[in-house]
């Protein structure tokens, strides 16, 4: 990979601000290949040389891929001056510049969100041309049946005349109320809620459970997050299981 300034590179790994890293470098706390470096402007290839801060090796990662179980009431954006966002929930070890959610969930919608700083990966996840399936569970204000299943399969027309792509609708056990599972391959504004509204039903609760073959980790508490493994990152291109 191209060489980068040492202070910028260290800051990109969530180790502190660029100013913090400049101070650490000048204080002799950083080594490159076992040799102390005191110049923040030195350029290195982190994949070619071992970097250490205070004697601890730094596992350089150009891109970060996180799975979050988004809670209700949190905005699914990078930043907002008034309201907490999914990026604000990240623990210190994951915080770095450039992170953003790959696709949005409504403020009151919960479930799976991918947070990354890899713009190309996010674009492919979100692009309608890639037809990546997003699976949701919805608690409704009343039951749905074969007519609604057929309407979703044919492509629901929203109240404003927008025609949605064909979507899969499945009925789930009716506990604690009418529950349905929906799979869509696009991401229009409030799409799932508007689709149900078009067939006369209101969504009371909504959760995203999967993106492609990547299923939300059942052990992840609301507001929790963890890194995605390389195989998990690739699962988004697979079919929902």
Nearest one of 186, 196, 172 to 134, comparing CA atoms: 186
Nearest one of 84, 60, 64 to 74, comparing CA atoms: 84
Residue 7, judged by CB atoms within 10 A of its CB (0-12, 13-18, 19+), counts as buried
- CA 165-156-211 angle, 5° bins: 45
Selected catalytic residue, list 42, 88, 106, 217: 106
Residue 223: partners with Cβ closer than 8 Å, 6 or more residues away: 68, 69, 70, 71, 74, 89
Asked if 106 is an active-site residue, the reply is yes
What SS3 state is found at 149?
Answer: helix
Catalytic center residues: 106
């Amino acid at each position: 990979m191209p060489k980068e300034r040492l202070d910028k590179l260290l800051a990109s790994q969530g180790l502190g601000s660029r100013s913090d890293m400049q101070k650490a470098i000048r204080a002799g706390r950083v080594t490159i290949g076992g040799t102390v470096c005191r110049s923040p402007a030195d350029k290195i290839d982190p994949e070619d040389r071992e970097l250490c801060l205070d004697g601890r090796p730094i596992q350089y990662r150009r891109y970060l891929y996180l799975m979050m179980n988004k809670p209700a009431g949190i905005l699914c954006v990078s930043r907002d001056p008034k309201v907490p966002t999914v990026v604000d929930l990240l623990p210190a070890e994951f915080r770095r510049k450039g992170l953003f959610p790959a696709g949005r969930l409504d403020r009151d919608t919960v479930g799976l969100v991918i947070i990354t700083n890899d713009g190309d990966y996010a674009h492919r996840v979100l692009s309608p041309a890639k037809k990546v399936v997003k699976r949701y569970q919805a608690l409704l204000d009343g039951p749905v049946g074969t007519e609604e299943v057929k309407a979703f399969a044919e492509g629901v027309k929203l109240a404003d005349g927008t025609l949605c792509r064909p979507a899969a609708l499945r009925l789930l056990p009716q506990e604690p109320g009418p529950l349905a599972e929906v799979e869509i391959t696009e991401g229009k504004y409030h799409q799932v809620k508007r689709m149900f509204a078009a067939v006369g039903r209101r969504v009371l609760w909504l959760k995203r459970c999967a993106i492609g073959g990547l299923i939300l980790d059942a052990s992840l508490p609301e507001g929790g997050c963890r890194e995605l493994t390389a195989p998990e990152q690739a699962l988004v291109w697979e079919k929902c299981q």
